[in-house]
């Protein structure tokens, strides 16, 4: 019996400016997009600025401590309002161009040298963006309509991120952040994340501590929880067997010595070990480049220990990530060849197939 060939997305979907423009309008501006951690904005006036596929957004908390998000642009003449990635203001955001001021709810409250009767301040406030959080992770939705609630949206994702709620990820604290620019389309990075046929070749260090990956599989078929065992005996992403710390809530002994992963559509990698979490955010910068921002999270009781050292985990994960970036850029260079129209999915590429089919569904519905 001949196995039916399953084709990947067309090659042009990974480099076409036209396809990227369609994605901006109907995917990036209509889906809930991961943008950071709530710990970055915990009190009124603290703010965070982020990019969502070319759109700048300002996230803050109002006087009542409620999350608020706005397009990062002044209503007067379109100047960027805040340049800083993070910061804090007491009461207002002041535009550096003409000093128009907006309060923490986005209302226009001051227009220096422009009388109140010259403009209608009530309609010139900052334009709002939908914002919500899940397990301490911040998400934005740029839709002009009321979107599906965040948690309901996550419940429908192909990679089931809600299964990790029992681990109380909102308790964790970020101790380290890294940033890389990868010359590859964002979808190439996700497809690479979703398979391990490349692992024995590209990740020699990783497969030594996760034997399942040597077989080209992303999961252990003898387990129902989606985890794969760390043979080091540790509880962190590391090749150090001494890396044993307090484990996350809801984990038994087998889970504590395993690792789990989930691709939260469209732009999040959520990697969970027994005692730490690695959260990765993809920020597309056009069809040919992606900025990758990674946060390393640990339990607060571990961080408080005098011998706490996160660097071995960071070093190991960044080594593996760098290897992934290199092969993703290799794909980006090759995929424009006239000799390549589309790829195929072998059996072990099933998660790649699931991602592509979910992508197709979202784009078709749009």
CATH code for the domain defined by 161-365 = 3.90.380.10
pTM: 0.95
Give yes or no for a contact between 77 and 309, defined as CB atoms under 8 angstroms apart.
Answer: no
Complete DSSP assignment for 101-128? EEETTS-EEE-TTS-GGGS-GGG-SPPB
Q: Give mean pLDDT, residues 71-81.
A: 98
Q: Which residues contact 155 (CB under 8 A, 6 or more apart)?
A: 162
Q: Give mean pLDDT, residues 297-311.
A: 92
**101-103: strand order across its sheet:** 92-94, 101-103, 108-110
- Cα 225 to its chain centre, rounded Å, is 22
Give the containing element (helix H, strand E) for 281.
strand 276-284
d(CA 221, CA 225): 10
Peptide bond into 266 cis (omega under 30): yes
The per-residue pLDDT for range 117-161, each reduced to its tens digit, is 899 999 999 999 999 999 999 999 999 999 999 999 999 998 889
Percent of the chain with pLDDT over 70: 98
Buried b / exposed e across 82-92, counting CB within 10 Å, b at 16+?
beeeeeebeee
Nearest-Å Rg of the Cα atoms of the chain is 22
The per-residue pLDDT for range 224-262, each reduced to its tens digit, is 888 899 988 888 887 776 666 789 999 999 999 999 999
pLDDT at 221: 81
d(CA 302, CA 283): 30
Question: Is the confidence at residue 7, as pLDDT, over 90?
Answer: no
Q: Give mean pLDDT, residues 108-120.
A: 93
Residues of the chain with CATH 2.102.10.10: 33-146
pLDDT band of residue 222 (cuts 50, 70, 90) is: confident
d(CA 361, CA 350): 16
Give the containing element (helix H, strand E) for 60.
strand 55-61
Residues of the chain with CATH 3.90.380.10: 161-365
Q: Which of 356, 184, 147 is CA-nearest to residue 283?
A: 184
Fold classification of 33-146 is Rieske Iron-sulfur Protein (2.102.10)
Q: Give mean pLDDT, residues 352-365.
A: 92
**CB-facing half-sphere around the CA of 341: CA atoms within 13 A:** 1
d(CA 48, CA 7): 40
pLDDT band of residue 1 (cuts 50, 70, 90) is: very low
């Amino acid at each position: 019996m001949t196995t039916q060939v399953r084709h990947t997305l067309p090659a042009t979907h990974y480099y076409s400016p036209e396809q990227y423009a369609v994605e901006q309008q109907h995917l990036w501006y209509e889906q809930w997009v991961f943008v950071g951690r709530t710990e970055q904005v915990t009190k009124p006036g603290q703010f965070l600025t982020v990019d969502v596929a070319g759109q700048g957004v300002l996230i803050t908390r109002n006087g009542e401590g409620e999350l608020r998000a706005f397009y990062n642009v002044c209503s007067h003449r379109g100047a960027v309002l805040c340049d800083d990635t993070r910061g804090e203001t007491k009461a207002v955001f002041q535009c550096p161009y003409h000093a128009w001021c907006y309060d923490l709810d986005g209302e226009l409250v001051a227009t220096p040298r422009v009388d109140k009767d010259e403009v209608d301040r009530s309609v010139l406030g900052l334009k709002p963006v939908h914002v919500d959080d899940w397990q301490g992770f911040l998400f934005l939705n740029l839709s002009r309509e009321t979107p599906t609630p965040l948690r309901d949206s996550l419940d429908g994702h192909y990679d089931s991120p809600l299964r990790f709620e029992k681990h109380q990820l909102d308790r964790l604290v970020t101790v380290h952040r890294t940033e890389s620019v990868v010359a590859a389309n964002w979808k190439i990075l996700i497809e690479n994340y979703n398979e391990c046929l490349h692992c024995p070749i590209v990740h020699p260090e990783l497969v030594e501590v996760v034997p399942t990956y040597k077989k080209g599989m992303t999961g252990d078929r003898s387990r129902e929880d989606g985890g794969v065992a760390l043979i080091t005996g540790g509880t962190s992403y590391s090749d150090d067997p001494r890396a044993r710390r307090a484990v996350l809530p809801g984990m038994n002994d087998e889970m504590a010595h395993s690792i789990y992963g989930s691709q939260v559509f469209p732009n999040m990698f959520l990697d969970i070990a027994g005692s730490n979490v690695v959260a990765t955010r993809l920020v597309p910068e056009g069809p040919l480049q992606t900025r990758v921002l990674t946060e390393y999270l640990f339990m607060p009781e571990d961080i408080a220990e005098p011998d706490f050292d996160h660097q071995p985990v960071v070093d190991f994960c960044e080594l593996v990530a760098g290897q992934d970036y290199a092969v993703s850029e290799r794909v980006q260079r090759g995929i424009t060849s006239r000799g390549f129209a589309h790829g195929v999915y072998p059996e072990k590429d099933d998660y790649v197939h699931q991602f592509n089919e979910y992508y197709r569904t979202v784009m078709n519905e749009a």
